[in-house]
Structure 1
Amino acid sequence: MPASLFLEQLTFSGGERIPLEPDSIVVIVGPNNAGKSVALRELLGQSGAHRSETSYQVVHGDVGRIGTADEFLERLAPYRLPESGYYQLQSLQGTSYSKIVNRLMGFTPENAHEDWLRNAWGGKGLGILTRLFFDLMDHSTRITATDPADVFNLTSDIPYHPIQKMCVDPALAERLSRYFRRAFGQALIVNRTAGTRMPLHCGTAPLLDPGEDRVSPSYARKLQALPLLQAQGDGMRSFAGCLLEVTAADKHVVMIDEPEAFLHPPQARFLGTLLAKEKPAGRQLVIATHSGDLLRGLLDASPASLQIIRLTREGNLNHARTLDKDRIRTLWNEPILRFSNTLDSLFHEQVVLCEADGDCRFYASLLEATRSEDTDARMPDVMFTSTGGKHKIPTIAKALASIGIPTRAVVDFDILNSESPLKEAVEALGGNWDDFQPRWKQVKAGIEQRKPELETAHVQKEIQKLLNQVTTATFPMDVATSIRDVLRRASPWDEAKLLGVNAVPKGELRQVAETLLADLKHLGLFVVECGEMESFVPTVGGHGNAWLAEVLRMNLRQDPHLEHARRFVQGLFSPQPNAKA
């Protein structure tokens, strides 16, 4: 790895210290107003030479270095002026370099001497170096990054601007143009013949006519007729600006605040993939984002160095927790989760896991309906997400709870049918299975002692009667549904899913079941006491989406048939569950 400066450790105002790798991609996520953008601004503004306990509100960054002074100078070789001991480092920051040196060192040299750079690398001027080699791209700087670059002398000048580097590196120019074309359907073209400035154009690259080359006046006129990138929308300019700075600017640490701004979800995801793919080796990328799409793009690239930090605020303190890399991989390797919105929960204050999409819509609609129209109370920042079945709940709950997201799960009553995944869900939410297992065994045994509503002979007779009604080549759906209903009544656990806690024999065993469900609820595992979602409103027929469509047409706020469901949803957020690693 070449000599480099990097963020070695982040210390947050809440007291957490998080070490970083020199080659890492660090993604800072969290709910609104958690301090993500402020953190990037503070990291840029700190010198890194001395830590101050009172110089930051959100985060302090300790700056480390890799390599010797000689290796550092070797990395700066492209900026060394011929036959001299000076380096033209002002090109890294344009005219702002002199201002930085003047403010911090008290003099304004035209160029930096080798001796000064050696001393700076040794620690005497490290703060200045971080300001030269650290960069923050916010909304405005990403836009201006695509402004035309100065024309330069190919034989004597150092190409410091990314657009200038596109001129001397055709492979880089073609690669960036190809990415831009995939995102927006247009090529990205440098105009080297526009006078003293070199703008970027977008559109279809003009073809060379016979006898024409890229500096021919006729070709220049064709280029000039293309739309200028600087005249396009913020989405195009921001996308291009991010790529230019990450791929072509010689920065050791690039920080980007909300790179997804102005982009549609597919473009944000594509940009995330490109940022991970195009980050040069040995450089650090720090991203603050609100976008699950951008995060999915980063995960698509599968960078081993990806580090996700979730930031939350408690009063005036900002707390941070990291998502274990193995758990990131576990989440991302699940096909159902890979194409779901589960990762978006990182950007919310709390999350509720449900078995299916229909459950999410039902409970989320009722939560909105239970909010009083006359109150000024803040709307809860909660996300309902489907896990594609109860067996996925423990894995997801463990990953989310491990980084401090208050996590709840809503499951049908038949989760009590077997030890797995009930045990894993309890442990994922921070509980001790030994505290629950004896009562669970009692409840399970009590339910299974119940005699099925129908004997085998009756089941056979009922199904045969239904089959005899079928005369069409295509099996009728209503008959299939009736057969399923017969089978459901034939199993004590299918009946329990319909009846919920009422399937438990009355008396002492019922009391055991009720305390078991109460303790699971306190942990954050909410078992539907009436059985399943459809049992909340038994007056509506059907199952799944058909049932849900009818229920959502009801007055969710006032209909008395939904009172039980409204109380259940309100109980999801009181008391707060324990979110433990």
Structure 2
Amino acid sequence: MVLREIAEFSSRGDTHRTILDGLKFRKHSAQEIDAILKAWTDNTPLPGVRNSPNHMHLKVGTWRTQVHIHSFRQSLQNPDQHINHFAQNYAAGHMLILDGPSRIGLTAEQNRGDLKDPQSTFARLLTDDSRRQSLRDILFDAFGLYLGMDISEGASIHLRYGNTAPPNERSVEDPTLEWMRNALPVNQWSDGMKAFTGMLLLLRAGDPKIMIIDEPEAFLHPTLAYKLGREIAQTASQGDKQVFVSTHSSQFLMGAIQSGAKVNVVRLTYQQGSATARMLSNDDIRVMMQEPLLRSANALSGVFYEGVVVTEADADRAFYQELNERLLAEESGRGAPNTLFLNANGKDSVNKIVGPLRALGIPVAAILDIDALNPETNFPVLLDAISYPKPHNSIKLERTGVWSDLISDDKKPKSDGGIALLNGAAKEKAENLFDRLDQYGLFVLRGGEVEHWLPGLSVPRSKRWLRNIFEALGNDPKALNYVHPGDDDVWAFVDRVAAWIKNKARRGIPL
């Protein structure tokens, strides 16, 4: 919907909008306007349109219009104050819209026309050897095949893919004809291949200033989605272009980001009547991508989920993810649906994933062993990551006091039962601290560590704990030894994490 509103605003002006507040366009200098009028002037009048004083005919590709010269200049000099005229007489001629159905048809044959004045996309590409070779190199990298443009059939241009580079496509000599006979027409390849080819061909052969692309990853293998994201972003960066893309593909997003082009990510959500819009700026993204942990954990995939859970280690992640899947399978409203489970490299790096994703409005819960309270852990950065209200002096003192109680008399809270080691006021103080952290999505294990969940299963608590616990849990829901969710222990804990993720009034998401 927001892409449609951008397209309507850019082509028609100030129309009715539901999501989009508005667009602002760059002002043009007098010299730029002179150059535009010189390049666009078309002395061939529009059919049925008579020449009017102080007007001129403009043409960009197949787009033609007649404009009042003074009004045209005003609209380009100050587009925001003359938005309707600017959109209808300038921006509309620079816009490219690619939705799902149109992408498949981009590779259909096109009329060759007059190659001295090429009008169609194919004709412009056929007469531009450098652009055609650049596109061919990209497509060969993607498919291992060579694109060729066939002019041997009537007055049309057809696309073909062959195993070798085509001879001179602008001729009908014998080697060219032989290559065309052996190459397969593009319509005999997959929809993904046709969509990928068509989008890049249109972007490379044309010169759109505003490109609007809806779900470009449709029909594409993840590897191709990554390459398409990279190529679209790079093409956009080569000139005065703006690209608006809606996507649900983390591969496409990573390709765009790693292209080196300037990319802003806007995360739109709409759930139960509540809408949000959060932006992760290009500068913020670059900071994230400089962090190897975030790249290796594929943390940006979190933008496509309703919630994220971050654990200290991969074994923890696998365990909690499996339990959540079993809760969801019960179809009783338990568990966290559409939730991504990620792991950091130890508790001191959890904040590097939690903080940036929460800045996008994503409910990211962190699960840590009880030694997160240890003074050796960088507790302040965790508090910053979960947006715990400042100043932190009070909760830091509470954390120090609880940890001191836990380790008194040489007790080992992580391996010997967590707050079960405490009694009376000391235990109440610890519970109060954990309750407050839970409210902000920082779930510290009161029982010590992940290995101590499900004590009723006879599982050795060793380095092979994950393999042992998975074997004990069983893998066939119909088998007698399969462990279904209960109402206590770790099942109640995962429910508590899920409740925080699903709670729209949750604390810890920055405004």
Fold-level match, TM-score > 0.5?
yes
Matching of residues 326-341 of structure 1 within 5 Å: 326-341=283-298
1:537 alignment partner in structure 2: 454
1:370 alignment partner in structure 2: 327
2:102 alignment partner in structure 1: 141
After superposition, what is the alpha-carbon deviation per residue over 1:493-516, rounded to whole angstroms, capped at 9, x for unaligned? xx3222342464433222221211
In structure 2, the CA distance between the partners of 1:503 and 1:418, relative to structure 1 (3 Å rule), is farther
Matching of residues 26-65 of structure 1 within 5 Å: 38-46=1-9, 51=14, 55-65=16-26
Q: Partner amino acid for 1:358?
A: A
After superposition, what is the alpha-carbon deviation per residue over 1:264-289, rounded to whole angstroms, capped at 9, x for unaligned? 11111111111111223211011110
Matching of residues 186-265 of structure 1 within 5 Å: 186-205=145-164, 214-265=171-222
The alpha carbon displacement at 1:421 in A equals 2.7
Check if 1:523 corresponds to 2:410.
Answer: no
Q: Partner amino acid for 1:39?
A: V
Contact map agreement 1:47 1:130 (CA 8 A) in 2: yes
Distance 1:514 1:281 in 2: 59
Q: Partner amino acid for 2:499?
A: S
After superposition, what is the alpha-carbon deviation per residue over 1:103-124, rounded to whole angstroms, capped at 9, x for unaligned? xxxxxx6xx7867854664636
Matching of residues 265-304 of structure 1 within 5 Å: 265-279=222-236, 280-303=238-261
In structure 2, the CA distance between the partners of 1:327 and 1:396, relative to structure 1 (3 Å rule), is farther
After superposition, what is the alpha-carbon deviation per residue over 1:116-166, rounded to whole angstroms, capped at 9, x for unaligned? 8546646362231332222221111222222222213333x1x34332232
Contact map agreement 2:148 2:166 (CA 8 A) in 1: no
Contact map agreement 2:351 2:385 (CA 8 A) in 1: yes
Taking only the aligned residue pairs, the percentage that are identical comes to 26
Contact map agreement 2:319 2:466 (CA 8 A) in 1: no
1:487 alignment partner in structure 2: none
Check if 1:572 corresponds to 2:493.
Answer: no
Contact map agreement 1:413 1:500 (CA 8 A) in 2: no
Matching of residues 52-451 of structure 1 within 5 Å: 55-68=16-29, 70-72=31-33, 74-75=35-36, 79-81=40-42, 89=59, 91-93=61-63, 117-118=72-73, 121=76, 123=82, 125-128=85-88, 129-155=90-116, 157=117, 159-205=118-164, 214-279=171-236, 280-303=238-261, 305-316=262-273, 318-371=275-328, 373=330, 375=332, 380-418=337-375, 420-432=377-389, 433-451=392-410
Distance 2:378 2:223 in 1: 35
Which blocks of at least 5 consecutive residues in structure 1 are unaligned?
1-37, 102-108, 452-491
In structure 2, the CA distance between the partners of 1:72 and 1:187, relative to structure 1 (3 Å rule), is farther
Contact map agreement 1:540 1:550 (CA 8 A) in 2: no
In structure 2, the CA distance between the partners of 1:372 and 1:402, relative to structure 1 (3 Å rule), is same
Q: Partner amino acid for 1:566?
A: W
Distance 1:176 1:344 in 2: 29
1:481 alignment partner in structure 2: none
TM-score w.r.t. structure 2 length? 0.84
In structure 2, the CA distance between the partners of 1:201 and 1:61, relative to structure 1 (3 Å rule), is farther
After superposition, what is the alpha-carbon deviation per residue over 1:459-484, rounded to whole angstroms, capped at 9, x for unaligned? xxxxxxxxxxxxxxxxxxxxxxxxxx
The alpha carbon displacement at 1:262 in A equals 0.9
In structure 2, the CA distance between the partners of 1:381 and 1:579, relative to structure 1 (3 Å rule), is farther
1:558 alignment partner in structure 2: 484
Q: Partner amino acid for 1:333?
A: Q
The alpha carbon displacement at 1:296 in A equals 0.9
Question: CA RMSD for the aligned pairs?
Answer: 3.1
Q: Partner amino acid for 1:203?
A: G
The alignment partner of 1:276 has SS state of helix
Looking at both structures, which has the greater relative contact order when contacts are Cα pairs under 8 Å and sequence separation is at least 6?
1
After superposition, what is the alpha-carbon deviation per residue over 1:73-121, rounded to whole angstroms, capped at 9, x for unaligned? 524655544799966626345xxx6xxx6xxxxxxx6xx7867854664
After superposition, what is the alpha-carbon deviation per residue over 1:306-326, rounded to whole angstroms, capped at 9, x for unaligned? 111111115556321111434
The alignment partner of 1:59 has SS state of coil
Which blocks of at least 5 consecutive residues in structure 2 are unaligned?
46-54, 476-480
Number of residue-to-residue matches in the alignment: 479
Contact map agreement 2:459 2:468 (CA 8 A) in 1: yes
Q: Partner amino acid for 2:112?
A: V
Distance 2:109 2:87 in 1: 30
Distance 2:482 2:437 in 1: 27
After superposition, what is the alpha-carbon deviation per residue over 1:347-377, rounded to whole angstroms, capped at 9, x for unaligned? 1111111122222221122122123646489
Q: Partner amino acid for 2:484?
A: Q
Distance 1:246 1:207 in 2: 22
1:15 alignment partner in structure 2: none
Contact map agreement 1:257 1:288 (CA 8 A) in 2: yes
The alpha carbon displacement at 1:551 in A equals 4.1
